[in-house]
Structure 1
Amino acid sequence: MRVILEVLHPNPPDVKFVVEPGSEFADDLGPSIVEQGYKLLSWREATSTRFDVVLAAHATQALGEFRGPVFCLPHGAGYNRLVPESTGSPDFATGTVDSQLKAESGSVIPAAFGCSHPEQLERLRKSCPEAVDRAVVIGDPVYDQICASRRRRPEYRDRFEVGPDQKLVVVISTWGKHGTVGCEANLPMRLLAQLPADEYRVLLIMHPNIWAGHSVAQIRSELRNELDSGLVVIPPRTPWAAGLIAADIVLGDHSSLSMYAAAIGCRFLLAADGRPELVPGSPLANLCAEATRLDVHGDLRAQIEDHLQAPRQRSAKEIADTIFAEQGQSWARTRSVVRKLVGREDLSEPPRMTAVGDPEPDSGRRVTSWQVSVTMDGRTGTVRLERYPLIAREQFPELERLSQVSDDAEVDQRTRENSEALVRTQPCGKSEGEEWLVEVLNPTVGGDAGRLVHSEARNIGVAAYRHATGCVVQWCDGLRVETDAVDAFAAAVVLHEMYTSGETLESPGRVRYSARPGEFAEFSHGGATMPS
């Protein structure tokens, strides 16, 4: 509805909102409207007031109580979903059922009925033939705004902290038992456990009804481990479209967001099959039917990478053309209908297009402990690093156990003690760093209260700290290497791999490593020394 209000410029109307009582998901909608600065009327106030036009986000017989011409708009991407428990129809999409569009007297309630595509007229002719002459094909203003905003993709990726060579995986979930969260609630955690954190970011976008069914605090609490493993979430009642524009691939269900994503060219894998809730043969049902199904319990990384390289079954334009008519013209078409209903002449100039709302992503604490995979290319000598959040990785015992490396910022004592390597990534003075190495690696020396304790030395094999001009890496046997590396984590992991694999570190050398495909870094070291 916020996009529709943008469409009505210039000369925006005096807007007031009302929420239909009775919905189990409407409790927090009213306060959200007020927070955005709009006037919220009670149902009694609204039904006793004369309006120039009533804009409805969904069709319901209760709209017949309003005084003023009613303009019904699609709730999402067209009309696809079956909701027989509320509409009484197991065959026709919600929004098109005669019990929603007609008063008890049999008269059609909407003065105008918006369709995003002509194919919906044919379905309306079967579900409520009396409303066909009120129908008008307006396209989809949300889709047009998303398309126009794609030029801001680099900006949106920055907002989600997606690096230049990272991929953004977006998980979409509608509400209900057939949605992604309803079917595969641990999919985000599985992704975080299997996708290298330096190559991928994971974003979760959930339907507002999921949030409304609980509370924001409760859902954040339930997602604590995911958020602390790097998951990013779009909070309820905040802009979501930038997430689709920024995405490299979407793992979704039968949500309208899946259709928007596919229609702008985003690669799409079906994570949950909600076709039992869709009108057979509708565009969204067809998208779900033809989409490659994600094996949630399989190798997620391989499936994602394979799909990103696979040829497309249909182009974005072919998908968009099945559900979005009047592409690029929907803002003007929608405004024209509204102005006609209120008795005003149409304007010669189309509305000024605006960008989708800036995202307001929510995330958890920074990751401080990892499981790390280290491999060496025997041909080039390049060491390849892949980091996975420890919290996520530990949720799935069937995954290979990798080396555990913790930042000194890790505050959980058990996690610190179980780490093979401890790294101080924040720069410090050399004297402070040397004192820290003794505390970490010497089992006879304890730290001050609130700092390191000697029990950590039971498992820690190597520690490293960063100073102003490089890093120092030291093993528990006293062997140490000084480097010009700026990344203490990489220096510790790479040199430890070389050390444990039997490579000599006695002579000065230069090391090449990679944390992302096609991206390389190097550092020099002065050779290993032992304390005298």
Structure 2
Amino acid sequence: MGIWLNGPIGLGAQTRITRSGCRTVLVMVPTLAAGTRLFDLVPLIEADHRIQLVFTVPHGTSGWHGLGDYLRDQRAFVVPWRQAVEHRFDLVLAASHRHLAEVRGPILLVPHGAGAMKSREYSRKAGGATVPSTGLERDLLTYRGRVLPSVLALTHDRELDELRNRCEEAVPAAIVAGDICWDRLVAGLPLRNAYRHALGVGDEELLVTISSTWSPDSVFGRLPGLYRKILDKAPESGARVAAVLHPQIWAAHGRRQVVGWLSDCIRRGLLLLPPEEGWRATVVASDWVVGDHGSTTTYAAGIGRPVSIAACPGDNIREGSLAALVRSFAPPFRPRRSLRRQFSDASLYRERLQMEVSAAISSRPGQAAGILRAAMYRLLALTVPTGEGPSAPFPLPEPIGG
């Protein structure tokens, strides 16, 4: 049966709490990637004395490694999934389509990466799929004829056009909010020197960040020896090397194993960033990003970092996607050439790449926090507090030690 947690929700809650009459908000964290995005939203409402947040890890018959530890490290109040589905909430925050039909309360759904539409033409989970999937399909957004999100947050106007074609009944729920992660990256640019200092990177050193999404056709999946090869070339180029891995890599293989695979590189100076936080500060601190079709590479291009592409899933990149846009301008990475020369080559495309990608990431640059905050308060039926919502810079990056 499992233990039900005594807390601010459920039968008898009024006998336990100190703050009464609060609206309750459920934050659904089915994956680490979803959790890291939702913690961009949480500060927009958590200081309000009228609101109580609780967190849960949704699951069916399977789950992902490390989620419980992640939420405990965040000092979150975590209720068991079985308890969460028995309660009706005033607002549910989600950054994944998983388990939305099982919760009760108005749902605000946001993307957990760059854009609400996928970079892949076909879903990884569909096996030999023959029908393209964008992430805005009817089967993801509805259940038994009901649109699941009360508010569907999109990042760009073009996504609204796509939604009309794929799930017209969800259009009334959609808002174009922009990208809160993107906005925070841009806001963090003035702290670049502080982030470099925290990483131990000197003013004259070249910081090369290797970015990998998950799946066998990612950088880490296809080119595990690339980290060692770049480290071999680093001294002659006056370079330091950092590694950013998608949270799903850590979840599927385990923290100890991932660190073990890269342990020799860490001993040689590789700056391996943990999956919870630090990747964004490192991208801001970087001089050059060597990546793939993942969101981190896209964000790096959008803030003006020269980018080279080391791996890409060939013909499975969706035409018109952010990943396709990056691939069309960024040069390929050549392991045998010098780092400085390839950095110079990538720098030639930097301005055009930044212009194209930044325009495609968000139709509401700098506005996401305000738009999403207003949407949350509307669903909560509360007045928005006066003044802007709280905004904090990224914490200083802390690489995993050797």
Structure-1-length-normalised TM-score? 0.64
Aligned to 2:217: 178
Alignment of 1:490-529 (within 5 A): none
Aligned to 1:161: 200
Aligned to 1:92: 133
Q: Decide whether aligned partners of structure 1 residues 160 and 197 sit closer, same or farther in structure 2, where only a CA change above 3 A counts.
A: farther
Runs (4+) off by over 4 Å: 22-25
Q: Provide the identity percentage.
A: 29
Correspondence 1:229 to 2:268: yes
1:204 aligned counterpart, secondary structure: strand
Letter in 2 for 1:178: D
Letter in 1 for 2:104: R
Letter in 1 for 2:222: C
Correspondence 1:53 to 2:94: no
Choose the corresponding residue for 2:110, options 73, 80, 83: 73
2:114 aligned counterpart, secondary structure: coil
Check conservation: 1:175, 1:210, Cα contact below 8 A: yes
Aligned to 2:342: 304
Distance 1:264 1:271 in 2: 19
Letter in 1 for 2:264: N
Aligned to 2:101: 64
Aligned to 1:435: none
- Unaligned stretches of 5+ residues in structure 1: 365-532
Letter in 2 for 1:171: I
Aligned to 2:6: none
Distance 2:349 2:329 in 1: 14
1:120 aligned counterpart, secondary structure: helix
Letter in 1 for 2:94: A
Alignment of 1:344-423 (within 5 A): 344-364=382-402
Aligned to 1:205: 244
**Which structure has the larger Rg over C-alpha atoms?**
1
Letter in 2 for 1:97: E
Aligned to 1:35: 73
Aligned to 2:44: 7
Shift of 1:229: 1.3
Q: Decide whether aligned partners of structure 1 residues 124 and 276 sit closer, same or farther in structure 2, where only a CA change above 3 A counts.
A: farther
Q: Decide whether aligned partners of structure 1 residues 91 and 308 sit closer, same or farther in structure 2, where only a CA change above 3 A counts.
A: closer
Shift of 1:212: 1.5
Q: Decide whether aligned partners of structure 1 residues 89 and 350 sit closer, same or farther in structure 2, where only a CA change above 3 A counts.
A: farther
Distance 1:9 1:16 in 2: 10
Letter in 2 for 1:123: E
2:350 aligned counterpart, secondary structure: coil
Correspondence 1:314 to 2:355: no
Once structures 1 and 2 are overlaid, which stretch shifts more, 45-54 or 84-93?
A: 84-93
1:314 aligned counterpart, secondary structure: helix
Distance 1:141 1:122 in 2: 21
Q: Could you give the per-residue CA deviations for residues 121-175 of structure 1, whole angstroms, max 9, x where no partner exists?
A: 1111222121111110111111111111111111100111101100100000011
Aligned to 1:270: 309
Choose the corresponding residue for 2:142, options 91, 102, 114: 102
Correspondence 1:126 to 2:165: yes
Q: Could you give the per-residue CA deviations for residues 47-78 of structure 1, whole angstroms, max 9, x where no partner exists?
A: 11111100111123x21221110111011111
Distance 1:272 1:30 in 2: 32
Choose the corresponding residue for 2:154, options 115, 126, 129: 115
1:40 aligned counterpart, secondary structure: coil
Shift of 1:195: 2.0
Q: Decide whether aligned partners of structure 1 residues 24 and 284 sit closer, same or farther in structure 2, where only a CA change above 3 A counts.
A: farther
More helix by share: 2
Shift of 1:9: 5.4
Distance 2:391 2:353 in 1: 25
Once structures 1 and 2 are overlaid, which stretch shifts more, 31-40 or 191-200?
A: 191-200
Check conservation: 2:118, 2:321, Cα contact below 8 A: yes
Distance 2:150 2:107 in 1: 5
- The answer to which structure, 1 or 2, has the higher relative contact order (CA under 8 A, 6+ apart) is 2
- When the two chains are superposed, the root-mean-square deviation of aligned CA atoms in Å is 2.1
Distance 1:70 1:275 in 2: 35
Check conservation: 2:237, 2:340, Cα contact below 8 A: no
Correspondence 1:336 to 2:377: no
More strand by share: 1
Aligned to 2:232: 193
- How many residues align? The count is 360
Distance 1:361 1:102 in 2: 41
Aligned to 2:32: none
Check conservation: 2:119, 2:324, Cα contact below 8 A: no
Shift of 1:357: 2.4
2:42 aligned counterpart, secondary structure: helix
Q: Decide whether aligned partners of structure 1 residues 22 and 180 sit closer, same or farther in structure 2, where only a CA change above 3 A counts.
A: farther
